Structure 1
């Protein structure tokens, strides 16, 4: 029997989740950082999401991964969620949420550079290359036209340090994603896969927070409503909805295609920052927006499929 094609309806919903929902998590990070240290944010976020997802997986009676698969899922979860998303939270102590999102948008180029086994697959499709390059040019323009912002409460403005931290996180996210896409077989995905990734990332984040002394200085009673609200948003929307969509997408679509969410996320991050936090938006950023969208559309029009 031929394998049934992936329903386009679910593909569209999943891409909407990683394009738009993830773009709002950068501002949620800033709210959580008001009263909660960075790695405690990651620990609470991932552990709570893992517990909630485990309940859902149990209710569906899905097959639990075994042996090497658990190990591979744990490794990929730590790389992507602690090394990737976790470092973004750390970086937002030094740069704005929009700036962090713009730097994360370099991920598609890292995918192409680091995904050596698929170089022939990527480079033979002109739409993939054109889309990635145009999208990256749009991001550069977007950053260039962005107004200079002062640091927010709880930030120590250090653009260079923040940028380096986010770049390191972007590379680790790509490495973890590629690792997962090669170890998880198409069609084998279950809710337990994401549950294990989140759980491993939560435990590792809690360990780093302990090493850094974050738990010793953390005062639960001092956490305000905005910080709790930011954390709750990260758990429900960032981890349960958007990350679940991402974890499924990388098993049915090429990683470089899935990574185009990093072109839309900074636009959403800046827009939400403007609406909610009153951050300025330059008029020339609209031009960059059109360039970015052009790159995304070209990439999505590609006809390539995963080769395993």
Structure 2
């Protein structure tokens, strides 16, 4: 299988699987606190995956590799997923996925400021401005709190999580990491530990919530651990180390479409006209940002 084929398969998995995890988290937080969902999901998933890699004979990782994987894990599965789970309490899953879709903008800005120092292309810059206009229209900051369709504080937290995710994704290729499966396992486990700390600090009645889990909650957690983490997260970790960052970031404008569709089918979520217009503007901007990636990156990928 060629490298290009592997990249397409991994992208397809991230497109579909991660778009569906918003629905899974939405079901889980009906009973469990959001940060406890992230904690349970990644601690169980990461620990079992690490044990599996040891049984395969991969051996223990070095201290340097473990430290680097842990650092990326805090940023991605820790900060990134905690804020998404928290925001899903206040907004439809499709809108949260749409806020996460700003990831390419943060990746372009951070890549320019901290990594490659490559300026975005003209079409990428136009897309960046268009995305910001769409966000301003969606968040509607000039209106009173009770007139906004999107909760401002959770939305800002999602932006912060996206920035952390973008930085971790850009930094990952520069670090010495364990083999892909062990790197994924360590990142998930450390992200779960981070989520556990956040849950203990900011949430209450965790034990009561765990005791109140019903069949729907168990099924949602099983899906998040097996499909969302093992399939989706592993595919993403592989992508950020084997594909151009802007190409990897294209999942951000597919996930909202999947999340909006699933939210409509299973949760009867509806977007208001304002949200639909803002969604169209934001997604158009994100697509332009992606299309505006450097020609050099295209040439490297398609050689």
* Same fold, TM-score > 0.5, yes or no: yes
Retained in 2: the 8 A contact 1:99–1:143? no
Segments of structure 1 that go 5 or more residues without pairing to the other structure are 146-156
Deviation at 1:177, TM superposition (A): 1.9
Displacement over 6 Å in runs of 4+: 142-145, 282-290
Preserved contact between residue 209 and residue 215 of structure 1 (Cα < 8 Å): no
Q: 1:36 touches 1:218 (CA, 8 Å); kept in 2?
A: no
- Whether the 8 Å contact between 1:257 and 1:299 is mirrored in structure 2 is no
Which has the larger share of helix?
Answer: 2
Partner deviation per Cα, 1:215-270 (whole Å, 9 max, x = no partner): 55533231122222222221112111111001011111122221121111111110
User: Contact 1:15–1:261 (CA<8 Å) still a contact in 2?
Assistant: yes
CA shift in 2, pair 1:112/1:184, >3 Å? farther
Equivalent residue pairs, number:
285
Task: Tell me what 1:162 maps to.
Answer: 154
| Aligned-residue offset at 1:199 | 0.9
Q: How does 1:293-308 map to 2 (within 5 A)?
A: 295=288, 298=291, 302-304=295-297, 305=300
CA contact (8 A) 2:246 2:290 kept: no
Cα displacement (A) at 1:87: 0.8
Q: Per the alignment, do residues 177 and 291 of structure 1 end up closer, same or farther by CA in structure 2, a change over 3 Å counting?
A: closer
Structure 2 spans left out of the alignment, 5+ residues = 139-148
Q: Does 1:67 align with 2:63?
A: yes
Q: 2:123 aligns with which of 130, 143, 161?
A: 130
Q: Which residue number corresponds to residue 233 of structure 2? A: 243
Q: CA offsets, 1:127-151, max 9 Å, x none?
A: xx63685488479669969xxxxxx
- Paired with 1:286 and 1:216, the residues of 2 have a C-alpha distance of 35
1:96 alignment counterpart = 92
Which of 194, 201, 217 lines up with 2:184 in the alignment?
194
RMSD: 3.2
Matches within 5 A, 1:69-88: 69-88=65-84
Instruction: Report the CA distance between 1:301 and its aligned residue.
Output: 9.5
Deviation at 1:52, TM superposition (A): 2.8
TM-score w.r.t. length of structure 2: 0.81
Partner of residue 50 from structure 1, selected from 37, 46, 63? 46
C-alpha deviations, 1:74-119, integer Å up to 9, x for none?
1110111111111110111122211111111111111111123213
